[in-house]
Structure 1
Amino acid sequence: MELSRLTTEQRNKRSMNLDQMSTAEMLHTINEEDKIVAFAVEKVLPKIEIAVDHIVPSLASGGRLFYVGAGTSGRLGVIDASECPPTFMTPKEMVQTVMAGGMDAFFNAAEGSEDNEKQGGLDLQAKKLIKNDVVIGITASGRTPYPIGALHYAKAIGAYTIALSCNQDSLISNVADCAIEVIVGPEVLTGSTRMKAATAHKMILNMISTTTMVKLGKVHENLMVDLHANNFKLRERAKRTVSEVTRSSYDKIENALIQTNYKVKPAIVMLEANVTLQEAEEAIVQSDGYVRKAIDYLS
């Protein structure tokens, strides 16, 4: 009865005859429901802002960000966290995911593991969680024991906690310092929260990580200046990025990138301020990683 009252478990009136629809009708129905997601996310932007404004100073001072979830929620955390090192050249420990059932559960469903509330705390304890870290518990229903247990443990040691769910007044919201409840309504396939709920949560995690990294100086204008250029495609992207900012010749750009081992940020500062690599790197440190400030610092 408790589950049946959850929005994410209710039946969607628009898809009651899903099994009798044509392929086109099913696709149209899913698409129409997916359109709801962005508007639902828009309503919780103030809460996302609060979350980001707590995460940024934590990471800036050496803290870490942990996503905690089970099943699809955990997998979304893995996807977002794993993209931070190549996109923003973050240390792999800066943004991490703790998943019910361990990382093997990313590939093989281990649904029973989500019911162990105590394990959520134990898994964070194994990560040597500290007060300066931030923990985001992800659960569409808002009642999954594993991330709830993780938030209880995080709060007990003084870490900032964020809850991400898809039901109003959810259990996990009562535990968190910041509760983000994005209400997308019943799923086309009843209870299948890998659909709209997961889409909403992926959008929010993308917002949190991207906005956080921008505020940490890892983006200049709208360009990835801290990308890890370790293959041909990314090295070419690095050249285009430096070109977009500096408008320098191809030879100068290539020479600068070779000197920096294809690190975009110091290459830009070198070319824009006409300084050596050592001077550029020092300016970047003095400017807390911001390209614009580093260039001004050398002016």
Structure 2
Amino acid sequence: MSALVPTEHADPRFAGLDAWDDNAILSALLAGQKRGLGAIDTAISEIARAAALGVAALQSGGRLIYVGAGSPGLIALGDALEIPQTYGIARDRIVIVMAGGLAMTEELLGGPEDDADQGKSDLAALAPTANDCVVCVSASGTTRYTVAALKTAKAAGAKTVGIAGNGGAPLLELADVAILLASGAEVISGSTRLAAGTAQKATLNMLSTLIGVRMGHVHDNLMVNVTADNDKLVLRATGIVARIVGVGPELAAQAMNTAHNQVKPAILLAAGAQNLSEAQDLLAQSGGVVRKALTFLGRQ
């Protein structure tokens, strides 16, 4: 198995690690994390292709569905939960499928990842269609639950993305877009929540962020569709309005209040839209892209 699965190799450089001093152990772990991030360099174009599939799915009324088991499932869950908050995408458009279900957030067990039948049935229960994009994450790329879920999604016509750490793994061979994160052997042999996990986390961050940008939820480098549902986020959103339009905090706060704390229409109100209805109409005409909507008001 080890000859085929680099993520499971025992790297001889770390033999005797338990007898090393603390700084040496931590330095080795940090180097491993950096190696995980470095593995993303050769995957940039595939991440871009995956983001395009995600954008197409969400713009056609479909869903972005994350699938994972064990640590990859938890990493995917974190990304999935953040997207509606950060980019204002409807919660029901972002779905997470985890081996063992959300009970795994309280006690992480290994057994469910071996259950291919459950992977198939869990994905099938979502009734995937050609409008959906299913993103499957596995360090080894051989996890039976995750591979079965991908096969089920593909059979239903959904677009599929596979993210794995081993070239030639089934998850990559089967996916429409294959993202290989060749992070190699772990400092602690087989503990793929380390370098492999870091690579997965960063990749999903990049994937979902590019989706948000291409859907028009970022203007310059500002989150213009953030869900402002607490005092901190309302303050941040008000600052975004002020910065983009070039107005003072009072006018920005007034626009936010009129827009019921929705950032995009607040920007247009502060920029000269006569009322909330006009701001919403301008956004509809521009496909939700603030930069284009501002041109309708004579602003660049």
Q: What's the CA shift string for 1:190-242, capped at 9, x where partnerless?
A: 00001000100011101111100110011111101111111111111011111
Residue aligning to 1:293: 292
- What residue identity is the alignment partner of 1:73? P
**Contact 1:81 1:95 (8 Å CA) reproduced:** yes
Q: CA RMSD in A?
A: 1.2
Alignment of 1:266-285 (within 5 A): 266-285=265-284
CA distance in 2: counterparts of 1:158 and 1:104, whole angstroms: 29
- CA distance in structure 2 between the aligned counterparts of 1:176 and 1:217, rounded to whole angstroms: 27
Distance in 2, matches of 1:240 and 1:249, equals: 9
Q: Distance in 1 between matches of 2:72 and 2:157?
A: 24
1:153 alignment partner AA? T
1:290 deviates by 0.4
User: How does 1:229-268 map onto structure 2 within 5 Å?
Assistant: 229-268=228-267
2:133 is matched by which residue type in structure 1? V
Letter in 2 for 1:57: A
Task: Report the CA distance between 1:13 and its aligned residue.
Answer: 2.9
Contact 1:74–1:106 at 8 Å: present in 2 too?
no
* Structure 1 Cα separation of the partners of residues 2 and 70 of structure 2: 17
User: Structure 1: how far apart are the matches of 2:94 and 2:11?
Assistant: 35
Deviation of the 1:38 alpha carbon:
2.2
SS of the equivalent of 1:97 reads: strand
> Secondary structure in 2 aligned to 1:110?
coil
* Other-structure match for 1:173: 172
Aligned equivalent of 1:112: 111
Q: Which amino acid aligns with 1:39?
A: G
Q: C-alpha displacement at 1:172, in angstroms?
A: 1.3
Secondary structure, in 3 states, of the residue corresponding to 2:163? Answer: strand
Counterpart secondary structure, 1:5: coil
Quote the Cα distance in structure 2 between the aligned partners of 1:24 and 1:117.
42
- Aligned pair 1:223/2:226, yes or no? no
Q: 1:128 and 2:152 equivalent?
A: no
> How far is the alpha carbon of 1:3 from its aligned partner?
4.7
The secondary structure found in structure 1 opposite 2:162 is strand
1:147-186 to 2 correspondences below 5 Å: 147-186=146-185
Instruction: Give the equivalent residue in structure 2 for 1:96.
Output: 95
Q: How does 1:176-215 map to 2 (within 5 A)?
A: 176-215=175-214
CA displacement at 1:177 relative to structure 2: 1.2
* Counterpart secondary structure, 1:262: coil
SS at match of 2:160: strand
**Which amino acid in 2 is paired with 1:266?**
P
Q: CA, structure 1 residues 13+76, in 2 after alignment: closer, same or farther (shift >3 Å)? A: same
Kindly provide the amino acid, as one letter, of the partner of residue 216 in structure 1.
M
Give the residue type in structure 1 aligned to 2:136.
Answer: G
TM-score by length of 1: 0.97
Deviates most, 249-258 or 267-276: 267-276
Matched residue type, 1:50: R
Q: Distance in 2 between matches of 1:273 and 1:214?
A: 24
Counterpart of 1:93 in 2: which secondary structure?
helix
The residue identity in structure 2 corresponding to 1:129 is: P
* Counterpart for residue 80 of structure 1: 79
Once superposed, which parts of structure 1, at least 4 consecutive aligned residues long, lie more than 2 Å away?
2-5
Q: Is the 8 A contact 2:241 2:266 kept in 1?
A: yes
- TM-score w.r.t. length of structure 2: 0.96
Distance 2:9 2:249 in 1: 58
Kept after mapping to 1: 8 A contact 2:32/2:194: no
Whole-angstrom CA distance in 2 between matches of 1:107 and 1:15: 31
Rounded to whole Å, the distance in 2 between the matches of 1:137 and 1:127 is 15
Q: Contact 1:14–1:29 (CA<8 Å) still a contact in 2?
A: no
